[in-house]
Amino acid sequence: MRIALAFGVCLLGGLAGTLLAAAADTDTAKTTTAKAKIAEAIAQTESSAQRIRERYRAQLNDNTVTIMAGSGQGTDSAIVQDLAAVLDDGAALRVVPMGGKGPAHNLKDVMFMRGVDMGITQANVLKHFAKTGELGPNLESQVAYIAKLFNEEMHVLVRADITDVAALDGKTVNIGIEGSGAEITARSVFNALGVTVQEVHLDEAAALAKLKAGAIDATVIIAGKPAPILAHLEPSSGLKLLGLPYLKGLEDDYYPAALGHDDYPQLIADGDRVDTVAVCAVLVSFNWARNNPRNVKIDRFVERFFSNFDAFLAPPRHPKWRQVNFAATLEGWQRSPAAQAWIDRAKATVAANAGIEESADDGARARFDTFLAQADTGAAAASDDERARLFRAFLEWSRTQNQN
């Protein structure tokens, strides 16, 4: 009896142990399954988050173009800010302005810096680097220009005792930081004018302070008028803007320009003007292959920029936009294929609307001359705005002629 009872107790104990072990195994399995489900859920969440991040990252990068401008106070920075404001539509295109170190460095950034799609440089800077070979051979084939933009005037700020540019010969003149577009332009212009100066290399603010203190005799500022750094100069500063003659040696790279009272009311008397020279700002990109993703983005920018150009001609956009003729040719350089294609389509459309055959250049010129004669417009002296108005009027006049 005792043996049977002991055996029963052992049997029950063994059965209990088996049941407990089974229960423990079940709990472990449940725990493992639960952990696996949690891990799977976490993995799915992370995968979903990763897909969202990748999709958003692709959207931002595929639809975003960057444009390198100059200093925060320069005209080109204001122009790039206008581009961003007008062209940014969120989903299809976003323009991101970038702060650079001036036209010469902007060109280098376009050529070599990762993430820079376009930049504003100057026509004479392009020519300078093509001549020196500093950025490599065949620069003309590696750079594509999208549009000639506005002119940037050469401001020579001097003390009151400097009466003409010849008086700067041998004087201490700031021509901008080394390697800058201002340095390239100042050297070129002074050389053409036969003036040799003692060069110093300062930024605009430091140069202005030294000029006021009498430590230097002049400083050169290349900027679209009115240059912000000159906006707050008072007559009591003892400084003035110096005139520059437009000589034959300047014709290839520079344009005649003038600064007036409206540009600098504190420095130029009402009715007076200061003659100077100007350089042309140019929007450029690297000359990517046609199917390169970078080029696809630039093509999208070009289409939206040119198609919405009228929006840049009204306030509050910078007045320099009224100087821009994006159909103008930059001699010796290749235009962006997308820009050229847009211009060709526009020309064909204008010709068709005006009833003018592309091949009938002589006839078109004769009809335009007739229009000018009948209108008595004085077109030779017309401003850019007036020329644009005349052109629109001519198209309308041409349509009425075709209907008669």
Domain ranges in the chain?
63-343, 355-403
CA 373 remoteness from chain centre: 40
Q: What is the reported pLDDT for 45?
A: 74
Q: What pLDDT was estimated at residue 236?
A: 80
Alpha helices in 102-214 (DSSP H): 103-112, 123-132, 139-142, 181-192, 204-213
Choice between 294 and 388, residue whose per-residue pLDDT is larger: 294
What are the Cα distances from residue 89, in Å, to 84, 86, 100, 305, 387?
9, 8, 24, 12, 31
Q: Locate the DSSP E strands across 320-361.
A: 334-335
| pLDDT number for residue 252 | 85
- Taking Cα atoms as reference points, which of 225, 174, 232, 181 lies closest to residue 203? 174
Is it the case that residue 360 has pLDDT exceeding 70?
no
Lowest mean pLDDT among 43-52, 181-190, 235-244: 43-52
pLDDT band, very low/low/confident/very high, at 84 (cuts 50, 70, 90): very high
Distance CA 122, CA 283 (A): 8
Tokens 């390697």 belong to residue:
179
Ordered DSSP codes for 238-285: -EEEPP----GGGTTT-EEEEEETTT-TTTS-TT-EEEEEEEEEEEEE
Q: Does residue 146 register a pLDDT over 90?
A: yes
What does the pLDDT read at residue 221? 94
Across the range 393-400, mean pLDDT stands at: 52
**What pTM does this model have?**
0.74
Q: Sign of torsion, CA 165 169 175 179?
A: positive
DSSP 317: S
Question: Tell me, what's the pLDDT at 355?
Answer: 55
Position 391 pLDDT exceeds 90:
no
Per-residue confidence at 380, pLDDT binned at 50, 70, 90?
A: very low
Percent of the chain exceeding pLDDT 70 equals 75
**Secondary structure (3-state) at 64:** strand
pLDDT of residue 234: 81
Do the beta carbons of residue 225 and residue 263 sit within 8 Å?
yes
pLDDT at 172 over 50: yes
Residue 377 pLDDT exceeds 80: no
Residue 341 pLDDT > 60: yes
Query: Residue 358: pLDDT above 80?
Result: no
DSSP for residue 235: G
In CATH, what is the architecture of 63-343?
3-Layer(aba) Sandwich (3.40)
Query: Which two tokens mark 21?
Result: 């072990």
Least confident range from 40-54, 270-284, 303-317, 353-367: namely 353-367
**What is the pLDDT at residue 23?**
55
- Token duo for residue 163: 């009466």
Q: Are 174 and 200 in contact (CB under 8 A)?
A: yes
CA contacts within 13 A on the Cβ side of 62: 8
For residue 357, what pLDDT is reported?
Answer: 45
Q: Identify the CA nearest to 155 among candidates 241, 80, 71, 87.
A: 241
Mean pLDDT of the chain: 82
Residue 36 has pLDDT above 80, yes or no: no
Q: Which two tokens stand for residue 313?
A: 């001609």
- pLDDT (tens digit per residue) in 110-125: 999 999 999 999 999 9
Return the higher-pLDDT residue of 33 and 386.
33
pLDDT beyond 90 at 40: no
What confidence score (pLDDT) does residue 398 get? 53
